[in-house]
């Protein structure tokens, strides 16, 4: 078969997909009897599948990525023009869109100075880990090499990222892991690990990090890597006092604060970055999904000058960051990212994300009055979760099968929502909502109305 023989006929596409595509995140056995879903078109918040069915996408491309919505011709046109002129050049050279996007990005991130380009969230995080390790070798005799990560957080799919992953179910079956990564406790107030009052909990959760640092030895710890809001681990918004204390601890022990903005970056929470909700000043920030809203593959590892300066040394020719990302030299990414950022600015999508996030949270709280199964509603901007429990007193999680049935019922109604997916053993019980930042109150109402009907149908 050659490319001219390819057919867009639904039966042919489905047959080719079923025969040869290995889908992400799913068991393939069911595809022996049901058709794989093929998405063919998108406009705004809506997508159409190959069978012509329309869906409202409440999760921005399944994994909270398409922040500016589908069908942005402006991005496609800019990428086409750039690729025609200069598609790719890597190694030690730069490109025009690479330089321009870096300047625009740094303008949104006071205190940060340098952008290192890569392709995926996993890769950007791996760059950050390598920077920390190189700083340890170069400036601390190799000792300050440990990297702390938090229970429930996720940083990517490679073996080293799984080694830094706080989601046991995702990690299982892929060991042995990369050494030197140490877990600190989660900060999920709803399932707090002690009996303290709410006001104290944030401080206590951060103090637990200090305990780990003291146990490991502060001179062995190079960095603390945290999601600003834990995403796939259950939409965990940090409790009051948490971030102030985290910052204080990092400064006290000379530990780099690495914030993983792969999900929250570029407006998801109502500010450019999630950390900006909490007034912290990170040393390293990684980002991916929303950087170009999925129109091109791009990720960034952004650092302060203080981090960057540690890779300069006239006396040592090997002091540079000894890393490359081939496709960090593809101009499609930064070109799409420039347009993506302009759309967010021109259409006021930060403010819309903040306002619609409040509307979404209000709707979910209203559903709580009607459905006892909703134990907790959490979120920031257009990034919200509803944790489902069998009993609000005991907080026993609703089982995964029923959570799956609720998601499937919404899907049958033409609304694509998400749920925590095989991440924390026994706690894959949180419904996830992250529509494009262009969502209107009508869109949000349609999404939560579908959830309302699904909860009634599945749980009675
Ligand atoms: N960090 C976080 C917080 C994520 O949610 C993800 C992906 N869901 C990643 C990193 C990894 O990104 P990627 O899949 O692009 O490698």
Ligand 1 centroid from CA 262, angstroms: 6
pTM above 0.95, yes or no: yes
Say if residue 327 is in the same domain as residue 274: yes
Residue with the smallest CA separation from ligand 1 atom 7 is 156
- Residue 239 resides in a domain: yes
Torsion of CA 128, 130, 133, 137, to 10 degrees: -130
Say if residue 266 is in the same domain as residue 327: yes
Q: What residues flank ligand 1, with Cβ below 6 Å? A: 63, 120-122, 125, 154-157, 227, 231-232, 260, 262-263, 288
Q: Which atom of ligand 1 is nearest to the CA of 156?
A: 11
- Residue 10 resides in a domain: no
From 63, 129, 288, 424, mutation site for ligand 1 pocket: most ligand atoms within 8 A of C-beta? 288
Q: Which atom of ligand 1 is nearest to the CA of 153?
A: 3
From 122, 149, 266, mutation site for ligand 1 pocket: most ligand atoms within 8 A of C-beta? 122
Say if residue 373 is in the same domain as residue 326: no
User: Residue 386: its pLDDT value, please?
Assistant: 98
Ligand 1 centroid from CA 126, angstroms: 11
Say if residue 80 is in the same domain as residue 111: yes
Residue with the smallest CA separation from ligand 1 atom 1 is 155
- Boundary (domain end) residue, out of 346, 380, 398: 346
Cα–Cα dist 335/452, whole Å: 40
- Residue 427 resides in a domain: yes
- Cα→Cα distances 313→17, 95, 232, 301, Å: 52, 25, 40, 21
User: Residue 427: its pLDDT value, please?
Assistant: 87
Return the CATH number at 264. 3.40.640.10
Ligand 1 centroid from CA 29, angstroms: 26
Return the CATH number at 399. 3.90.1150.10
User: Residue 272: its pLDDT value, please?
Assistant: 98
Q: Which atom of ligand 1 is nearest to the CA of 261?
A: 3
User: Residue 422: its pLDDT value, please?
Assistant: 80
Say if residue 224 is in the same domain as residue 94: yes
Ligand 1 centroid from CA 3, angstroms: 33
Residue with the smallest CA separation from ligand 1 atom 10 is 155
Ligand 1 centroid from CA 107, angstroms: 24
User: Residue 439: its pLDDT value, please?
Assistant: 98
Cα–Cα dist 299/140, whole Å: 29
- Boundary (domain end) residue, out of 346, 364, 384: 346
User: Residue 7: its pLDDT value, please?
Assistant: 84
Cα–Cα dist 241/335, whole Å: 38
Say if residue 217 is in the same domain as residue 304: yes
If we measure between CA atoms, which residue out of 95, 183, 108 comes closest to residue 147? 183
Say if residue 265 is in the same domain as residue 358: no
Residue with the smallest CA separation from ligand 1 atom 5 is 263
- Residue 325 resides in a domain: yes
- Boundary (domain end) residue, out of 346, 366, 398: 346
Residue with the smallest CA separation from ligand 1 atom 13 is 121
User: Residue 2: its pLDDT value, please?
Assistant: 75
From 119, 121, 151, mutation site for ligand 1 pocket: most ligand atoms within 8 A of C-beta? 121
Write out the chain in H/E/C secondary structure.
CCHHHCCCCHHHHHHHHHHHCCCCCCCCHHHHCCCCCCEEEEEECEEEECCCCEEEECCHHHHHCCCCCECCHHHHHHHHHHHHHCCECCCCCCCHHHHHHHHHHHHCCCCCCEEEEECCHHHHHHHHHHHHHHHHHHHCCCCCCEEEEECCCCCCCCHHHHHCCCCHHHHCCCCCCCCCEEEECCCCHHHCCCCCCHHHHHHHHHHHHHHHHHHHCHHHEEEEEECCCECCCCCECCCCCHHHHHHHHHHHCCCEEEEECCCCCCCCCCCCCHHHHCCCCCCEEEECHHHCCCCCCCEEEEECHHHHHCCCCCCCCCCCCCCCCHHHHECHHHHHHHHHHHHHHHCCHHHHHHHHHHHHHHHHHHHHHHCCCEEEEEECCCCEEEEEECCCCCCCECCHHHHHHHHHHHHHCCEECEECCCCCCCCCCEEEECCCCCCCHHHHHHHHHHHHHHHHHHHC
Ligand 1 centroid from CA 276, angstroms: 19
The residues, ordered by sequence, that sit 6+ positions from 288 with a Cβ below 8 Å of its Cβ are 120, 121, 124, 262, 265, 298, 299, 300
Residue 391 burial by Cβ neighbours in a 10 Å radius (0-12, 13-18, 19+):
exposed
- Residue 16 resides in a domain: no
Two tokens, residue 62: 């399944």
Say if residue 106 is in the same domain as residue 130: yes
Say if residue 117 is in the same domain as residue 262: yes
- Residue 6 resides in a domain: no
Asked if ipTM goes beyond 0.90, one says yes
Cα–Cα dist 192/234, whole Å: 14
Give how many domains the chain has, as a whole number: 2
- Residue 24 resides in a domain: no
- 333 touches 310 (CB < 8 A): no
- Cα→Cα distances 444→46, 350, 436, Å: 12, 16, 11
Ligand 1 centroid from CA 246, angstroms: 22
Say if residue 356 is in the same domain as residue 340: no
From 262, 264, 286, 434, mutation site for ligand 1 pocket: most ligand atoms within 8 A of C-beta? 262
If we measure between CA atoms, which residue out of 90, 79, 190, 218 comes closest to residue 429? 190
User: Residue 125: its pLDDT value, please?
Assistant: 98
Structural domain harbouring 376: 37-66+349-459
**Sequential pLDDT tens for the chain (460 residues):** 677 678 889 999 999 999 999 999 999 999 999 999 999 999 999 999 999 999 999 999 999 999 999 999 999 999 999 999 999 999 999 999 999 999 999 999 999 999 999 999 999 999 999 999 999 999 999 999 999 999 999 999 999 999 999 999 999 999 999 999 999 999 999 998 777 777 789 999 999 999 999 999 999 999 999 999 999 999 999 999 999 999 999 999 999 999 999 999 999 999 999 999 999 999 999 999 999 999 999 999 999 999 999 999 889 888 999 999 999 999 999 999 999 999 999 999 999 999 999 999 999 999 999 999 999 999 999 999 999 999 999 999 999 999 999 999 999 999 999 999 888 888 899 999 999 999 999 999 999 999 999 999 999 8
Say if residue 287 is in the same domain as residue 424: no
- Residue 428 resides in a domain: yes
Say if residue 245 is in the same domain as residue 105: yes
């Amino acid at each position: 078969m050659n490319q001219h023989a390819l057919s867009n006929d639904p039966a042919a596409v489905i047959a080719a997909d079923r025969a040869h595509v290995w889908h992400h995140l799913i068991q393939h056995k069911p595809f022996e009897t049901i058709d794989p879903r093929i998405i063919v078109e998108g406009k705004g918040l809506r997508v159409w599948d190959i069978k012509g069915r329309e869906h409202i996408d409440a999760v921005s491309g399944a994994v909270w990525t398409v922040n500016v919505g589908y069908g942005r011709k402006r991005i496609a046109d800019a990428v086409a023009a750039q690729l025609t002129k200069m598609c790719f050049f890597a190694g030690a050279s730069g490109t025009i869109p690479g330089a321009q996007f870096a300047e625009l990005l740094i303008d949104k991130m006071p205190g940060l100075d340098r952008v290192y380009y890569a392709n995926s969230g996993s890769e950007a995080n791996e760059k950050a880990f390598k920077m920390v390790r190189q700083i340890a070798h170069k400036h601390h005799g190799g000792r300050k090499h440990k990297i702390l990560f938090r229970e429930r957080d996720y940083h990517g799919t490679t073996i080293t990222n799984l080694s830094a992953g706080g989601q046991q179910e995702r990690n299982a079956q892929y060991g042995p892991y990369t050494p030197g990564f140490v877990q600190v406790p989660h900060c999920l107030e709803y399932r707090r690990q002690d009996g303290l009052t709410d006001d104290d909990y944030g401080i206590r959760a951060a103090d637990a990090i200090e305990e780990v640092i003291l146990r490991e030895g502060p001179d062995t710890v190079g960095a603390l890597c945290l999601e600003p809001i834990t995403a796939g681990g259950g939409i965990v918004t940090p409790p009051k006092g948490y971030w102030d204390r985290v910052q204080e601890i990092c400064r006290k022990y000379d530990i780099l604060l690495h914030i993983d903005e792969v999900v929250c970056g570029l407006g998801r929470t109502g500010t450019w970055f999630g950390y900006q909700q909490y007034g912290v000043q990170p040393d390293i920030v990684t980002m991916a999904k929303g950087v170009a809203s999925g129109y091109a593959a791009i990720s960034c590892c952004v650092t302060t000058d203080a981090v960057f300066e540690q890779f300069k040394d006239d006396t040592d020719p090997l002091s540079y960051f000894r890393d490359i990302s081939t496709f960090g030299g593809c101009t499609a990414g930064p070109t799409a990212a420039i347009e993506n950022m302009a759309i967010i600015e021109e259409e006021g999508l930060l403010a819309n994300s903040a306002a619609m996030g409040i509307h979404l949270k209000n709707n979910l709280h209203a559903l709580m009055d009607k459905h006892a199964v909703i134990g907790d509603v959490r979120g920031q901007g257009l990034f919200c979760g509803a944790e489902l429990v069998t009993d609000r007193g005991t907080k026993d999680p609703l089982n995964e099968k029923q959570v799956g049935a609720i998601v499937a019922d919404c899907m049958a109604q033409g609304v694509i929502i998400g749920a925590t997916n095989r991440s924390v053993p026994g706690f894959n019980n949180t419904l996830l909502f992250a529509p494009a930042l262009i969502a209107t109150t009508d869109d949000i109402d349609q999404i939560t109305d579908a959830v309302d009907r699904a909860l009634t149908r599945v749980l009675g």
